[in-house]
Structure 1
Amino acid sequence: MKKITFSIILLLSVAVSSIAQRKYDEIVTTENAVQDLVQNGVTGIVVFKEGASIKGLDPETKKVVWTLTKEDFGGRSVLDIAGDTDLTKLFADKSTLTNVPGSPYVEAYLESKYLIINTDTGKVVYNSAKESFWVTQSDFIPETNEYLLTLKKDGDMAIALLDMTTGELKWNTTVDKAKSLFSFSFKESVNTNVAKVHGSVIYYLLYGKLYSFDRATGKLNWKGEEDYSKFFLTQNDKNIVVVNNTGTFSTKQYLNVLNTETGKSIWKESIKTKRVVYLEDWGTKILVAHYSGFNFFDLNTGEKIWKKDARGDGLKRVIPIDQDFLYVAENEMMLINKDGEKLWKKFIEISDDKEDPIYYLGKVGEKVMYLTGTYGNMVDYKTGVKLWKRNINFDKNRPVLPTYDETTNSYLVYNDEKLYKFDPSISDKPEPFAKVNIKREKELNSIEQFPWGVVLSGPLEVMGVNMDGTVKYHLTYSQPGEGTRRLIKSAAIVGSIGLGVGAGVSEFKGSEVTMTYRDSDGNMRTSVLKKEDKTNKDQAKAYAAGAAALGVVAAKFNSRFNAMKQNRDFSYIFAKADSGEKILVKVSKVDGVEVDKIIFNNNKPIYEVDPATQNIFYVSDKSIQIFNRKEK
């Protein structure tokens, strides 16, 4: 078997060397060097800046369809940032062009101005040059096609609501002194800034401060008394659940409930814990699972409803199943009902160490399956008895990657150069169906299921394995060099692009706490659990939903979205060729064939791979080189 596998790989290596690196198919030349480039996910328009102009390139015709110059957006701003070190640093950290996910818009920072451009029309929807303030932060609200802008005006900080239909500010409200704005890290703002429109009110969590505005007038209803890291609206419209950290480096979190009219806490005491894990809103009560406990609390009083907490020492995961709750405390799991009663006789150990990651935990048919950093097994849902006498033992120092096979209702799992098939119908632990030799295993980040087998991939390695355990192909590449990672401004939505997160990686590795809603009888209403590490396909769906909600170029995007769904069959790898040149390699996941090779002539290339057409737009000095889709 080893000799056969080696022969296959050797033949592939010969085939690879026969594919020559090619020249671009089309080129857009410019008078000045192209300084930045980004593709909008909805319209597909490739926006680039060269000299003092911003231009839009149609991805289908490869022609410039609109151009913006100083006549459209003006020269330098009427304000001067020379004496403001905070603003100087802020604008230095901003990218010239930034795509706005779920919208047809691109934001631009140039010559101390902030612009919002509709990429479909090339119209400057908003230009801060005419204003007597600086725009320091922007957050798009796709449900209403509006923007919340954070402004610095003299020594004050203000919040403004921008109507994207008219390009006019609906209101502008001063909320604080500007110095408080710059005490917060701008790099952290992407993780904390959240805007939610609820009827006539806008709630805005900005740099740790929670604000309530009248949406029509901009009147500041209230400002939270403490700093918060998260907030969740409740079903009764009267309360907000808030979580805050006690200081920048604190390991403690506090949870409380606010009155929506006043912004003041209504619970006498906050829940103090190391980490909030899971939340559910049942109308008059909320379920709070945190590091040290697990109980229902009366929404109005904060009083516990269960007489005794479900065990919570080191609680780190809760999975709702119908009206039961499967949860993990330290390295053991238990199933309880909605009254907090245990449904299993004893806890089930699922890992050696309480710090081991959970890659999968959930119900499969009438069984519970778990995959952790050290073990894999299945448990009878009703009794809690392990179905396999022996666990599969994983090496926790090496990657564990699972992927689900819908056709067989089973999971395929990679660990320690072995592939396993977890079939709920078998009575004992499975033996590995394949043993492989991954060269850069610690960098492995993706496992994908295909009708013929499995694809394992990382930034510089791709392997295809047939379901009979034979290696179909194996390609490895050299690191292009330190400090030469590709600069791709808006990664392709479908398909593995460079270091993108692979499909099939469990949601639990990067999940964040959000609120789940039920009625008073415990029936699930709306789940708002979001995955932090979304697969590219999930992102595409989110973008499509955003475009539909806006009613903007929906027909155009739908055609792009349908094309994008078909394009998960290739990997794009930025590597170094034997000649020393830096290249982008397109690899077919079906057979391991190197479909395309493109030479990059700069150390930090700027490029976009269009997910709908698979054409590549690459910045090369005073031009954009276009490499059309190549299949074989």
Structure 2
Amino acid sequence: MKTVIKKIKIYFLLSIMFLSNVFAQTSPKNTYNLDGKINFMKLTEAGVLLIAHKDGFAGIKPESNKLIFDFKDYGSVKEEELEFVPDSPYVVIAQGGFANMSSKKTVFDYVIGKQLFETKENGWKDAFSTQVFLPQNKLVVAGVRTSKEKFAPAVGIYDLVTGKEDKLIYLIEPGKVTMGTVTITGSVFMKDKKIYIPTSKELICYDTNTSNKIWSAKVDDLTWLTSDESGKEIYGFEGTNGGDTKIYKISSSGEVLWKEAQKVKGAVTRFEILPQGIAVVSDVADKGGSVFAAKAESKITMLSAKDGADLWDKAPKTKGYVQHFYIMEDGILFGIQSGGINKISFTGETLFKKPLKTGENIHTMALTPKGMIYITDSDADIINLKTGESIWNKSIKYKSKSAVTSTYDSKNKRYLISTGDEIVAIDENSGTISTLTAYKFEEKESPTSFSVRNGGLLLSSDQNIMMLNFDGSKKFHEYYKSPGRSTFGKIMGGVLAVASTAASVSMAARAGANRTGYGGVNDMSSYNDYGKEAKRASDMFASIGSASFDYMSKRFKASAATENSQFILTKLDDGVGLVKINKDSGTKEKEIVLKDKKPQYEVDEYAGVLYYQKDDKTIEAFDLN
């Protein structure tokens, strides 16, 4: 009997030890000490944790047990002084000036911990702008040189692999006496082996190989430029004092092709060069006050590529800002953020029988075999794209919640909408609507994430995680009480603040994310596809060909270490901490005790690391795997 009791005791002790190892993690795998007081920390898309402290800024890689760099040349760095270049390992530090007119700028590669450019060291008095061009991997600096070069206005091109100067282009030769001054008025544009520089007097084109001036065009004060795919047609945009925009067209040889600039109301937000003309979307800001003030809405215009003339007798009414904009075979389809969908031909004729009324905030517009589905905060429908009419008698209405989410179940060919109370299913082929199930989250939360997994449908929020079987029956629902709303003051919204592939999508990429080929609306095959976006990022980084981009490529090529887990901040027995929940089973796999009522932390979901600011000078890293 004693032997049995002893065995039971040993088994019990071993079980306690096992559970302790699985759940309660109180010791970090690495500790990093900073010399100065920590101001803030940020997890970059490259997976490097950047920490700004009193004496400078430092970097941590998940695979390293020490700081990979601690840069102190410029002392304390404020968060507003950092500009992270999207889709790159670069950060621009702007100090000593107002807004972008900084007298001191530094470009830093935070993956390898190397300064690539600094204004004073490279002979610049002021750098008005610093632009990174990818995949060329070049830095273009516009500003004025130091007194040694008589404060000559210039543009410099730098190689971001070596940090060395490629070319220096003087707009006025140092010491040359001229009538008046020349200033750079907007963003520099690079295409093939040419660089286009907008100035207060003219637009100038230079050869990037020789630095020789190719031509100049009598177009001044442009703020930004673009071109067609061939680079033979250049378009320049000038903002006016009234908030409107003038558009110019210039040939690749410097000839101004339009006799007069075409003026559109508001700021241009979309510019599509089409065989039928040039489609322009411009947003008019709310000026308020006066009854004569322009309404806050988008304007859609079709210009002649030949002379810039407005091709439409009457522009379509929007009554709000354009949220979705798609080029179809027979015209332009657009959705308004405040509600409404319409379609117009390339000749300006309305194609729908009447503008379609919808709820606010259009989450999705996508093709189905039965027509186009749209999903908003309060309704959904499938419409005939020829007439704009519902294929049913009326749209699906649901009570608007704080967070409406949707996903696509490719296996069962259906669209699923989480309304905050229930899940609505729409059959892709038949268009049949049904309520899949009703649900309720604790603490009056609504799901902020909705995804399809191999084992079912996953709904999650800050404190709740629920898995449903494909028939709508509940597989599990786990809830962890919030440690108090004040705890969330420094935490970003959603389930957890993590570095994800969403950070790698530039605005330009997002603008075309729902288009295929010539511009048709996507089907939902890639909707909710985590892996495709990661592959896109990996391939893009790999194509640039530097050690830092290679590091980023490998990171995005690997599977996310925590893609099968969710982390929830909650009150544990020993204090506030994180619990790691398996997304497929709902089981608790690990606890990490932070013992802090207001924890400051970042989670790297690819490497599976939690970075926690223990005190003013210490960062701890916990293993989440």
Partner of 1:5: none
CA–CA distance in 2 between the matches of 1:603 and 1:623? 17
1:399 aligned residue? 403
The answer as to whether partners of 2:451 and 2:528 remain within 8 angstroms in 1 is no
Larger Rg: 2
Please report how far the alpha carbon of residue 198 of structure 1 lies from its aligned counterpart in structure 2 after TM superposition. 0.3
The reply to whether residue 325 of structure 1 matches residue 332 of structure 2 is: yes
- Residue 88 of structure 2 aligns to a residue whose secondary structure is coil
Choose 139-148 or 595-604, whichever is displaced more: 595-604
**1:568 aligned onto 2:563:** yes
CA distance in 1, matches of 2:261, 2:413: 46
Match of 2:134 in 1: 142
Once the two structures are superposed, what CA deviation does each residue of 1:435-492 show, in whole Å capped at 9, x if it has no partner? 12234667753322223333333445444333333442142524452784148xxx9x
Could you tell me whether the CA contact under 8 Å between 1:139 and 1:147 is conserved in 2? yes
1:162 to 154, 158, 163: 158
1-side partners of 2:113 and 2:29: how far apart?
Answer: 23
Q: How does 1:306-317 map to 2 (within 5 A)?
A: 308-309=313-314, 311-314=316-319, 316=322, 317=324
| C-alpha distance in structure 1 between counterparts of 2:157 and 2:226, whole Å | 21
Question: What residue is the counterpart of 1:63 in the other structure?
Answer: 65
Q: Which has the higher contact order (CA 8 A, sep 6+)?
A: 1
The TM-score with structure 1 as length reference comes to 0.69
Other-structure match for 1:268: 260
Secondary structure of the structure 2 residue equivalent to 1:349: coil
Amino acid at match of 2:220: E
Q: Deviations over 1:31-79 (max 9, x none)?
A: 735736555544x45565778686655533x334855677xxxx569xx
**Does 2:351 align with 1:351?**
no
Q: 1:199 pairs with 167, 187, 192, which one? A: 192
The 1:336–1:39 alpha-carbon spacing in structure 2 relative to 1, beyond 3 Å, is closer
Question: Which residue of structure 1 aligns with residue 604 of structure 2?
Answer: 610
Equivalent position of 1:282 in the other structure: 274
1:498 aligned partner:
497
| CA contact 2:404–2:418 (8 Å) conserved in 1 | yes
Separation in 2, partners of 1:277, 1:67: 39
Distance 1:525 1:440, change over 3 A: same
What is the correspondence of 1:56-135 to structure 2 with a 5 Å cutoff? 57-60=60-63, 62-64=64-66, 66-67=68-69, 92-94=78-80, 100-105=85-90, 115-118=106-109, 121-128=112-119, 130-131=121-122, 133=125
For 1:572 and 1:53, locate their aligned partners in 2 and report how far apart those are by CA, in whole Å.
31
Q: CA deviation at 1:304?
A: 4.0
- Whether contact under 8 Å (1:34, 1:619) holds in the other structure is no
CA RMSD across the alignment: 5.2
TM-score (norm 2): 0.70
Deviation at 1:385, TM superposition (A): 4.6
Separation in 2 of the partners of 1:542 and 1:218?
Answer: 37
Q: CA–CA distance in 2 between the matches of 1:347 and 1:619?
A: 57
How far is the alpha carbon of 1:419 from its aligned partner? 0.9
The 10-residue stretch of structure 1 (51-60 or 377-386) with the greater mean CA deviation from structure 2? 51-60
Secondary structure of 1:620's aligned partner? strand
User: What letter matches 2:426 in structure 1?
Assistant: F
> How many residues were matched structurally?
556
| SS of structure 2 residue aligned to 1:358 | coil
Correspondence list, 1:155-554, <5 A: 159-172=155-168, 196-203=189-196, 214-216=207-209, 217=211, 225-226=220-221, 228=223, 231-235=225-229, 237-241=231-235, 246-247=240-241, 253-254=244-245, 256-259=247-250, 266=258, 268=260, 270-273=262-265, 278-283=270-275, 285-288=277-280, 296-305=302-311, 308-309=313-314, 311-314=316-319, 316=322, 317-328=324-335, 333-335=341-343, 338=346, 346-347=353-354, 349-351=356-358, 356-382=360-386, 384-396=388-400, 398-426=402-430, 428=432, 430-439=433-442, 444-471=447-474, 472-475=476-479, 476-479=481-484, 481=486, 484-486=489-491, 497-498=496-497, 524=518, 540-541=534-535, 543-553=537-547
C-alpha distance in structure 2 between counterparts of 1:17 and 1:480, whole Å: 28
The 1:282–1:404 alpha-carbon spacing in structure 2 relative to 1, beyond 3 Å, is same
Q: Percent identity?
A: 17
2:382 counterpart letter in structure 1:
M
Partner of 1:12: none
Structure 1 partner of 2:11? none
Change (3 A) 1:427 1:20: closer
Taking the aligned partners of 1:170 and 1:135, their CA distance within structure 2 comes to 17
Unaligned runs of 5+ in 2: 1-18, 97-102, 173-179, 283-296, 522-526
- Provide the residue aligned with 2:592 in structure 1: 598
**Aligned partners of 1:50, 1:292: CA distance in 2, in Å?**
43
Task: List per-residue Cα deviations over 1:591-632 (Å, max 9, x = no partner).
Answer: 3334333344667755443333212233434443221133xx
Which amino acid counterpart does residue 87 of structure 2 have in structure 1?
Answer: G
Inter-partner Cα distance in structure 1 for 2:580 and 2:140: 40
